[in-house]
Structure 1
Amino acid sequence: MVDIGATTRAAETSRSDGKAAPTRAGFSVDVRSANEAALSDYEAFCASAVHAQAQHPLWVRSWIDATGADALIATVSRDGRPAISLALEVVRAGGFGIARFIGGSHANGNFAAVAPMATHPLTDSEAQALSDALHAARPDIDLVLLERQNPRWEGRANPLQRLATVESPNVSLAVDLSGGFDEMLSRHNGKRKRKKFRLQLRRFEEAGGHRLIEARTVEDVDHLMTAFFELKAARFGKQGITNVFEPADVQAFFRKLFTDAVRQPAPPFILTGIEVAGVLRGIHGMSVVADGVVCEFSAMLEDELQISPGFFLDYTAMEEACAKGMKFFDFSVGDEDYKRSWCDLETRQFDTLMPLTAKGRMLRGWKMARSRAVRAVKSNATLWALTKRLRAGVAGGAKPAASDD
């Protein structure tokens, strides 16, 4: 553990109990390897803290166990009590050491764990102390790269918002469910959507019947995840996109995450699927948060039936969320036409790029330039459509069609 005092730079303090010692300024920072003791403390902190789904202790433990991540827990304490805690992993990329949210590109809508009593954001002094603590504990880290952060979560402002460096290139879209399902539909061409849903049900029956599945056992998880990985590989291959779900350790992570989740009384992560004529044709992976549902990923079978399984899963998931009193359904990061057909909430997330070395400052400049370039392309509908066509063409796929996955 490295504990950096607020009044001194890179000054280590120690206590016999291994906890961070308070400083004269009323705060301290400690950085610990994510061993069992640190993870247990993080889990205890998160029991009452506000945090996003990718900062859930189950997500953090599952990723570390499945991937063997080089992980650490950085905590800012105020007046001797933990206030903000960051679960990070250190990765090597192109000769650089990067500390990022655990889960990499799979971690979206990030919001670091923050205690209920921590009502103000990280101060400049605390941010400097955090930077110093990370550098002292891990000199091999060149850049702290915290991407896709939500500016607000569960009514709280992001405690790291003062560290915002650049706007994330991808928008996050969600649906306001606060008025109930009927009211939500009335704002989004409800008559057409209800008609489409009824038509789907008829087509399902004509094809041989359907079954909506929610994973409740280990066997269910294995069945749905196996199908998801196969469908996603086919989809990404057609689109010419690198399959981020292909690595064996990533697949092991998701299997463990949802397997451990079904063993909990109120699973924070759930898998659903739609089976038509005995064939699994669509899968949703979702996280359940305090007042909403986040669709983390989905995959659909493209075949001769052309039954839009994604629409059916979205429709039923929102209907169930409303029945449970949820306030929003979040489609997560990514701007697609099928999301726009539902959504009325748009979140512009931010990235934090905090260099700890001269190499880190170089990488920060390159990352910021790239982020702005990507955002410029994606904000131009014509240019973005052309980019997707070119990408699919290189992969040998067909022209991308409007889809619901």
Structure 2
Amino acid sequence: MKRVVITGAGTINALGQSVRETMEAMREGRCGIGPLDIRDVDRLTVQIGAQVKGYHEQDRFNRQQIALYDRFTQFALIAATEAISQAGLEFQGELSQRAGVVMGTSGGGLTTQDENYRAVYEEGKNRVHPFVIPKLMNNAAASHISMQFNLQGPSFTVATACASSNHAMGQAFAMIRSGMADAMVTGGTESMLCFGGVKAWEGLRVMSKEACRPFSATRNGMVQGEGAGMFVFEELEHAKARGAEILAEVIGFAMSSDAADIVMPSKKGAARAIAGALKDGRIDPGEVGYINAHGTGTAANDKTECAAVADVFGHHANDLMISSTKSMHGHLIGGTGAVELLACVMALRDGIIAPTIGYEEPDPECALDVVPNEAREAHVDVVLSNAFAFGGLNAVLALRRYAA
């Protein structure tokens, strides 16, 4: 079993258009949620979201690329470029054949779908652009990353709703650990903040019209976000041989299915995934110092997640720090776990625990240390990242501080 480390990270989200900007915002407890600026917003009941503001696609891509890249693909390419640049890898020769990309997304090119449904059904057009399918397909982002960076190894997309990123990164981790690949570009991307995307989520009645307040007794729902987080996972000896800077080590991963309900979460399913990640990484529960929670801000998720953590960690649960950065960058659905992994890296490398902002009032059913409202300095050696999706699909990653 080979060891796997992270040698590059990249992102674009409502908190910043780079890892540096995003981590700075997390340290400051800044909120990226605000009024939506999209077409027909006045027809929506929910008019807030965590949008990437100040972003202009023509500043990043030429006209031919824009014709091919949906917004979710653009975000993925931007984040992947930053991650690969930091890693300092060039994918040529044998390495290009032993490196690939595993991407998480839930909606894929939803903006492209929305625009073309409008064109056909609202405007009465009988033709659409010939690139609509290549632009909206869920694997578009993974394919364009593989083409741009010459990644000729295993490449595919995972779509498991809100756990897509964690499932994707878990597969990349497993491939390198097993010896199938030397390096993988992995993470997630999502751009659902279009009229149809928000309207569909409205129907579930889980959205807040005000703010995302995970674990707070006053919470009243989730808030959608958009963006991407991408990483370079690399086999340890391969990274050391080229003198790469190592951000953290990936040491465990587990998945579980609730096999219970399409939307209501299960404490038992979540607990199995958390316990499985500990077992996979050979981690004593007492070693874990921080958990980046799924923490959506819905009544059902937050209390179920806290109960699962309490079940797995027992008395040590009271010593854990557990925060939800969705309070700042919103819920990126298929891309959320990847952006949240940045908070885990920050905790390990910088000793800064990202806060749960918007916290107003304790909830007896969420009686853990949720790092309310302000970031905290703390030394932690092992962290977990939780992701629990509609459909009862759970994925948990474990990371350790790297020591040479």
TM bracket, shorter-chain basis: under 0.3
Normalising by structure 2, what TM-score? 0.23
Normalising by structure 1, what TM-score? 0.23
- Please tell me whether Structure 1 or Structure 2 has the larger radius of gyration of its CA atoms: 1
